[in-house]
Structure 1
Amino acid sequence: MFKNVVFILLLITLLGWMPSCARRGNVTGGPKDSLAPQLISSFPKNFSTQFSGNIIKLQFDEYVKLKDLDKQLVVSPPMNTAPEVTPQNPSKILTVKIKDTLQPNTTYSFNFGQSIQDNNEGNPYQQFRFVFSTGPAIDTLRLGVKIKDALERKTDNFVSVMLYEVDANYTDSIVFKKAPKYVANSLDSAKVVRLENLKSGTYRLVAIKDLNKNNRFDPQTEKIGFQRDFVRIPNDTVYQLELFSPQRDLRITSTSHTKKSRVLVGFQGAIAKASLKLQKGNEVIPHRLVKLAGKDSAEVWFNATKGDSLTLHLQKDAYQKTFGFKVKEAKKDSLQIGIGPGGNLPFRDTLFIKPSNPLKKWDSSLMRLVRKDSSEVKFTVQYNEYRNTMAVLFDKEPQEKYKFSALPGALTDWFEQKNDTLQLNTNTGDYADYGNLKLNLKNAKRFPILVELTDSQGKLLASSYSDKSSSFSFDLIPPNTFTVRIIYDDDKDGKWTPGNFMELKQSEEVYYYPEPIEVRMNWDAEQTIDLGP
């Protein structure tokens, strides 16, 4: 009897234990792995000399995986054909296959950035470098470089820093045509970029936001920064390069005859300064160029008849483009008028009229602006042909309601179409809803100076210009926290001008006040900014 009881209890225990044995799960508990993988051996050894092969083997102490290798791996000197790194799946051994011809007596550096990570937790092997020389010695010189944007407060990441050897074959145009002698990259976090394993010599130092990753500068799409004077190595100076997008040369990217009376032109650069001619045979056809807001495209408007064969010629300096087309049958573009802003009109904003078609003429005597008591308000209008916008300018009073109206015939478009009656109601707030900011500059290096207020994202909110005064007033600005940007406008064109690499001309100097400035409602703020060293 006792034996039977013992047997039954033992059986119950086993049955309760067996499901738990069969249940699969993850091991829990214990500290999380935070250690990066480590290289335990390689072939050849790191920092080897007299290397003449094309295969490198790297063995690690744990399984590793590759992440963003195309962004992170930087080979210096750069190779015409990128090396192949395998496998792509987790492994303890990585194989690097070199597909380019190695240069004699040259030190090569493979900087893997953060691309090698452990398989479980993704801990990166930070800035792992594998170095070898095809000659008898490893070059050991280095150079430090800081990168900043010439205009914006935020600097791009993944910027290539390059050294071009200055020898008998060197010209400044080499940056457009050939890869540099040495290259390093800021990746996504480096504050100081280190070019390492360099030979002594004289070099041109540049930085490029190399979007197409070809180790050459494309001025139509990429930013560049440079040191004006040649750099001699060895050198313990930490250079600072300022990135800028150069003024683009005009390039027509597309042309299409979209409507009966207009041609759509896609472009890069400054099309507003181009010479345009529209012809029907030898006859010159009147036309109007209008920029499309927020796009790198414009429209050329004209009057023509269905079936006319027209030719559009665009030219700027040595660049020219010709587009021939036959006029389509299409419905005439009716005149639509937009006007705004309605509702609240900030004191620093402007009332705008935006017609759908270019204007040929206007009659301001058919326009009227009145207050809420119906008294007349003096105003002027300014029409921008290129933007196809008309500003209605007047002195605004606080807590006032305004009514703008335009009678039929006040506006006449390109096709002699006239507007219908227009009306807009708008109003201003109280002065107390806004704040005032006065900035006093000390130790300004030179004039003229352009002072700009931006938000935290760099959007321009207000600006003020002076060719002699050190005080800048921003009255009746909406409450906000502002960033102050100060520009030395050396070419006196009222805006920031980028540099020019081929002329070795740096961008206009920009200074950011390091602290944000808060402006509150019904508040007068004043700040002194010392621009001295």
Structure 2
Amino acid sequence: MIKDFAKNIDVMLYEYDSLYTDSVIFKQKPRYIANTLDSTLYELTNLRAGKYLLVALNDANNNKIYDPDTDKIGFINDTIVIPTENTYDLSIFKEIPELALFRPKEVAKGHLIFGYQGIYENFKIDVTSNVPYDFRSELTYEKDKDTVNYWYTEVEADSLNFTVTADSIVEQFTARIRSTEIDSLVSVPSANNTLHLLDTFSISTNTPIIRIDTTQIHLVDRDTIQVPFKAFLAPSKTKLFIDFDKKQGNLYNLDINPNMFSDIYGISNDSMVFRLETKTIEDYGVFKIDIQSNFDNGFIVELLGSTENVIRRKKILKPELVTFEYLNPAKYFIRVIIDENKNGIWDTGSVLEKRQPERIKYFDIEIEIRANWEENEIFNVDD
């Protein structure tokens, strides 16, 4: 059975013969192949006796050869000996491709995107063209899109040359400059009415902020008493946080004057007014789940919404009771990543290293949270 549901998964057998190498799946088609069609089940029949490598492939270009850049794969570490009556479960995953850099593309005047694949620790973009003395640039990272945004102030040129460094890789690129309109400043608040007791109010922008003036922020509570706050930018400079001590069942009036912040292009914000209300503790529910296991693993416990969006995430280094407080009444699900190396993230697999991805377990009971109520469950992730 294929554990990760997707349509049309190819299930393949490669024979361990005199020509077999670990790279065979990258170069040759398998001896036997079946397809799951619309299910997660597969069956291979009329097989010649022998030893085989069992592989599942989500084949994007349908060439029956594994392409790590586009395909997902699953495999069994053990050798499959035919004949056999055994049933084999496979989990498909996307490998991390080798680090590579791609030519930049222009999004708007003063805005380029640099694409890449793989994982890096250090990323740097240096402009090598002649630019004005007051030239300024900012980087913002979208790792979920494998993209680095490069924002820069006005320059009179029809192209710009760059040296891009990602760890040990160094590439030279030229970007053609054609756009005449810069990105307009767009501001989006994290909340308009109700502010969760655990959340920090923020304003996200589509361009990096380079200046803030906190004297242009005014915050008072229901009784018009001034509330102390701290305003600061996220490392990306595209999110401004306004943090303050929130009391349950209160109302806060937040006024932001024009010109409180400016982006890299010198564009400032307009006046903004927010009326933010907090709920009482009794409006929320509590969920506790006892994570049980006989193995020395870490665990990443994720509370999911109805669309599998992550509502909360907690990381633990051993099996223990996990508590999620201040939950809005709703239905939730639990997903647990078995964090075998205890690095706090899910690690994918590797075919050549014969390493399986870290396992993901779903709690098979839907959790319904009610106001002023506590739910308790036990989840043995070894089952």
Q: TM-score, normalised by structure 1?
A: 0.64
Structure 1 position 159, deviation (Å): 0.9
Q: Alignment RMSD, CA only?
A: 3.1
**Matched residue of 1:432: which SS?**
helix
C-alpha distance in structure 1 between counterparts of 2:381 and 2:144, whole Å: 35
**Matched residue of 1:175: which SS?**
helix
- Do the aligned partners of residues 272 and 370 (structure 1) sit closer, same or farther apart at CA in structure 2, a change above 3 Å counting? farther
C-alpha distance in structure 1 between counterparts of 2:272 and 2:232, whole Å: 18
2:118 is aligned with 1:263: no
Partner of residue 80, structure 2: 231
C-alpha distance in structure 2 between counterparts of 1:323 and 1:501, whole Å: 32
- The one-letter code matched in structure 2 to 1:496 is W
C-alpha distance in structure 2 between counterparts of 1:351 and 1:510, whole Å: 32
Does the CA-based 8 Å contact 1:486-1:511 persist in structure 2?
A: yes
2:56 is aligned with 1:201: no
Structure 1 position 357, deviation (Å): 2.1
1:414-469 Cα offsets, whole Å, 9 max, x none, are: 23444444332221223333211011123352342111122344222222222246
Q: Which moved more, 1:261-270 or 1:397-406?
A: 261-270
Structure 1 position 319, deviation (Å): 5.8
Structure 1 position 248, deviation (Å): 4.1
2:37 is aligned with 1:182: no
1:351-410 Cα offsets, whole Å, 9 max, x none, are: 221223212243445434321212233443453344722233334322211122334554
**Matched residue of 2:90: which SS?**
strand
C-alpha distance in structure 1 between counterparts of 2:182 and 2:43, whole Å: 62
- Do the aligned partners of residues 418 and 511 (structure 1) sit closer, same or farther apart at CA in structure 2, a change above 3 Å counting? same
**Matched residue of 1:343: which SS?**
coil
2:146 is aligned with 1:300: no
Alignment map for 1:508-519 (pairs within 5 Å): 508-519=358-369
Structure 1 position 525, deviation (Å): 0.8
C-alpha distance in structure 1 between counterparts of 2:63 and 2:191, whole Å: 47
Partner of residue 376, structure 1: 226
**Matched residue of 1:396: which SS?**
coil
C-alpha distance in structure 2 between counterparts of 1:212 and 1:504, whole Å: 24
Structure 1 position 513, deviation (Å): 1.6
Match of 2:164 among 314, 318, 335: 314
C-alpha distance in structure 2 between counterparts of 1:329 and 1:185, whole Å: 48
User: What stretches of structure 2 of length at least 5 have no aligned partner?
Assistant: none
2:332 is aligned with 1:482: yes
C-alpha distance in structure 2 between counterparts of 1:327 and 1:190, whole Å: 49
- Do the aligned partners of residues 481 and 331 (structure 1) sit closer, same or farther apart at CA in structure 2, a change above 3 Å counting? closer
Does the CA-based 8 Å contact 1:291-1:387 persist in structure 2?
A: no
2:280 is aligned with 1:280: no
C-alpha distance in structure 1 between counterparts of 2:68 and 2:88, whole Å: 23
1:300-338 Cα offsets, whole Å, 9 max, x none, are: 111242226411343445766543135457345554433
C-alpha distance in structure 1 between counterparts of 2:316 and 2:209, whole Å: 34
Partner of residue 243, structure 2: 393
Alignment map for 1:421-440 (pairs within 5 Å): 421-440=271-290
What is the percent sequence identity of the aligned residues? 29
C-alpha distance in structure 2 between counterparts of 1:419 and 1:455, whole Å: 33
Alignment map for 1:111-150 (pairs within 5 Å): 146-149=1-4
Partner of residue 446, structure 1: 296
Does the CA-based 8 Å contact 1:384-1:390 persist in structure 2?
A: yes
Pick 1 or 2: higher relative contact order, CA cutoff 8 A, min separation 6: 2
Match of 2:345 among 495, 499, 504: 495
Partner of residue 243, structure 1: 92
Structure 1 position 293, deviation (Å): 10
C-alpha distance in structure 2 between counterparts of 1:271 and 1:372, whole Å: 48
C-alpha distance in structure 2 between counterparts of 1:253 and 1:288, whole Å: 19
C-alpha distance in structure 2 between counterparts of 1:317 and 1:180, whole Å: 36
Does the CA-based 8 Å contact 1:206-1:227 persist in structure 2?
A: yes
- The one-letter code matched in structure 2 to 1:370 is V
- Do the aligned partners of residues 407 and 282 (structure 1) sit closer, same or farther apart at CA in structure 2, a change above 3 Å counting? closer
**Matched residue of 1:472: which SS?**
strand
Q: TM-score, normalised by structure 2?
A: 0.87
**Matched residue of 1:463: which SS?**
strand
Greater C-alpha radius of gyration: 1
C-alpha distance in structure 2 between counterparts of 1:386 and 1:170, whole Å: 48
Does the CA-based 8 Å contact 2:121-2:167 persist in structure 1?
A: no
C-alpha distance in structure 1 between counterparts of 2:215 and 2:143, whole Å: 29
**Matched residue of 1:239: which SS?**
coil
Does the CA-based 8 Å contact 1:445-1:531 persist in structure 2?
A: no
C-alpha distance in structure 2 between counterparts of 1:293 and 1:499, whole Å: 19
1:35-55 Cα offsets, whole Å, 9 max, x none, are: xxxxxxxxxxxxxxxxxxxxx
Partner of residue 13, structure 2: 163
- Do the aligned partners of residues 455 and 409 (structure 1) sit closer, same or farther apart at CA in structure 2, a change above 3 Å counting? closer
**Matched residue of 2:96: which SS?**
coil
C-alpha distance in structure 2 between counterparts of 1:202 and 1:318, whole Å: 40
Partner of residue 455, structure 1: 305
